[in-house]
A and B are shown apart, each in its own frame.
Chain A
Amino acid sequence: MSAVVAPPAPAGGVVAPGRRRRARHWWTVVAVLAALTLAVAVVSLVVGDRVYPLGDVLRVLTGQDVPGASFTVGRLRLPRALTGVLVGVAFGIGGVVFQTMLRNPLASPDIIGVTAGASAAAVLSITSIGLVGTAVPVVAVAAGIGVAAAIYLLAWRRGVHGARFVLVGIGVGAMLQSVVQYALTRANVYDAADAMRWLSGSLNSAFWEGFPQVAVPVLVLAPVAVLLARRLAALQLGDELAAGLGVRPDRTRLALIVVAVGLISVATASTGPIAFVAFLAGPLAQRLVRGTGSLVVPAALVGALLVLVGDLVGQHLLPARLPVGVVTGVVGAPYLLWLLARSDRSGGTL
């Protein structure tokens, strides 16, 4: 927008093209990520125990009746792929919002206990109270927000410092994890293997029946997060500057936390905590866009891509079928260690 009113000084001639170049880079990255996500989603519709040709898959998608493929692709693989995309988007956005807001790539919700809060609430409400349907995500979201608030308050001592927030979160997370295990040891409805699968995050229960419970909240909250992203960028300049730019820091932060925790909790209630997706999406997106724009959209796409690829690998490339969370956990942890090894005291910034 400033290209038109660029001052005659030589700086103007440098700034405007630079800005255009960065915008172009950002759009290229987003377009490539979106195309990749679509491609992987299509692959996940095509391959499986039985491989259907692309034509059959496209015919199913346009609503035609193809014997065999209509059931396998339309009823089994399509909800699985769509759930994977939505959950990945939710984890990606939730993670990057926390990491950016706390200015610490390690402060992602799966490390600081928010995810554990949502899964504890979900497991308890399923096994102990016997809730079903839409009530589960509602409880999970409430618990997730409650846990985030509790960590924030416990870490508060004349202001919240990132390191203290993270450590308190680790403690709270450990406690909630043991609540999850308690719920599972008490529940006889769960077969132990099923329980483990859910705990490590899996798309195995992704069918059309449960789809609206994850689709509606994610489709509402994700655009809100994208809209708030601009204010998130202003917040990063510091509270005073943000206020000068017309952003109310406290209100914006509250809105961002609610949206991010909501996304994380809905996704966790749907598939279980898929390890490290929320943690990995932000830093990976940052390496791709290289500071040329908001991280929220790229991180959402990276999250979707991680879940889809992880599920494909877990389902088809390994000798045994493994839930996606195991794959992302094994891949994500070394990256976290590497990040730690090269970070400074505070863990660096995002």
Chain B
Amino acid sequence: MEGKMIDENGLRVDGRKVDELRQIKIEAGVLKRADGSAYVEWGKNKVLAAVYGPRECHPRHLQDPSKALVQCKYNMIAFSVSDRKRPGPDRRSVEISKIISEALEYVVFTEYFPRTSVDVYIEILQANAGTRCAGLTAASVALADAGIPMKDMIPSVAVGKIDGQIVLDLCKEEDNYGQADMPIAIIPRTGEILLMQMDGHMTTDEFNRAMEYGFGACEKIYQLQKDALKRRYAVEDVEGLEEDVPREQQELEG
């Protein structure tokens, strides 16, 4: 496939530029029963995340008297991929669940809820490369939707390499012929990296460029996460309440 994934104009199989994200749509509060939830469509990925808790920690022996546990379960549903996936966890999903749990653990104020568990469920309804990033992006919004005190939300994106070039956010066709794949998740405000994996082959220069693309994309995704929460919680203008004027100020003016 050498030289086929990027055309002479520098455009990719789906017409994107090398540093362009797929179309991303985020919606907060989509499930009724869950304490918090979010739905993400990311290119052809469809991902649902739900949060329950803080609630009693199961299994009990994992309870921590000093803080809450963040327990994430990432799962691909049977018909989310072209060959039916047998239901139940496999080694890949167990690993992804672990690294996402660890990333989320960092932003949740776990010390507020000792002995409890904050349970995060990520279901991949339709997969098209980059599902762990879409899942973590959705999980962050679901945690915020659940009202869990947290330092910040975590946007996540994968940067890869095709035809010897660093490209942002590989789609399925590109992923099949990718020479490297590096999912990352950061806190844009502080630049802290909370998730990073890499497989394939990259030079140091390529890594630097990949991080540049990744950080830039995370800023954009973070904005989409915030927008989703605002759309969910924006209050319609109520008569008698002046817009954009803080309450204290109103009182002073009054």
Q: Do A and B come from one complex?
A: no
Which residues of A are in contact with B by a Cβ distance under 8 Å? none
